[in-house]
């Protein structure tokens, strides 16, 4: 009986720690994404993705809010669209739009001295998308 109980206790501990690790990983990714957002997007899209950040004053177009992407897309966060849009793979409505093509300019505020390899950037973009998904209304 005893070994059986011990095994059971061990199993539930393993399950519990797996659960808590999973959720703190999610939080870490969202936090990391928030740092990328703050440096690369907030000036235009607002500190919390509400649109019209401080740099809007210098632009002809007001950068839209990014927290309402899900609401504007029938309640579904358009992850693929955002991901492609940010790296300039989608045609813009206005070719003169000030929205940067981040595949061309890179994350220059996160890495002012360069030095981020492709794998790092991929993680940064994935974290950024997790953050954007987390701030949807
Ligand atoms: C220099 C200002 C500027 C910066 C910096 C900027 N954007 Fe934009 N963004 C715009 C403008 C202006 C538009 C609207 C015009 C357009 O669609 O091109 C836009 C549009 C978008 C859209 C499309 C929104 C929609 O509802 O169709 C997404 C998604 C987006 N930006 C994401 C980002 C992300 C993520 C970052 C940071 C990595 C970022 N932008 C940085 C100015 C900016």
Does the domain at residues 26-134 carry the CATH identifier 3.90.700?
no
Structure confidence by residue, pLDDT tens digits, 94-135: 888 899 999 999 999 999 998 899 999 999 999 999 999 999
> Nearest C-alpha to atom 28 of ligand 1 is from which residue?
82
Structure confidence by residue, pLDDT tens digits, 25-81: 999 999 999 999 999 999 999 999 999 999 999 999 999 999 999 999 999 999 999
d(CA 134, CA 2) in angstroms, rounded, equals 45
Let me know if 124 is exposed, middle or buried by CB neighbors in 10 A (0-12, 13-18, 19+): buried
pTM score, whole prediction: 0.86
| Ligand 1 mutation pick, 63, 91, 98, 100, max ligand atoms within 8 A of CB | 63
In the DSSP assignment, the letter for residue 74 is: T
d(CA 5, CA 111) in angstroms, rounded, equals 52
Please report, for the chain, the start and end positions of each structural domain, with discontinuous segments joined by +.
Answer: 26-134
Q: Quick check: CB of 98 below 6 Å from ligand 1?
A: yes
Distance from residue 66's CA to the centre of ligand 1 (Å): 8
């Amino acid at each position: 009986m005893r070994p059986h109980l011990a095994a059971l206790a061990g199993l539930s501990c393993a399950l519990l720690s797996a659960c808590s690790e999973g959720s703190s990983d999610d939080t870490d990714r969202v936090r990391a994404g928030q740092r990328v957002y703050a440096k690369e997007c907030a000036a235009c899209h607002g500190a919390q993705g509400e649109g019209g950040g401080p740099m809007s004053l210098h632009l002809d177009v007001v950068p839209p809010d990014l927290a309402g992407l899900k609401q504007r897309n029938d309640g579904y966060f358009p992850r693929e669209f955002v991901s492609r849009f940010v790296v300039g793979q989608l045609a813009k409505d206005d070719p003169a739009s000030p929205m940067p093509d981040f595949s061309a300019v890179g994350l220059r505020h996160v890495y002012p001295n360069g030095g981020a390899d492709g794998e790092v950037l991929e993680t940064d973009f994935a974290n950024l998308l997790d953050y954007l998904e987390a701030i949807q209304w």
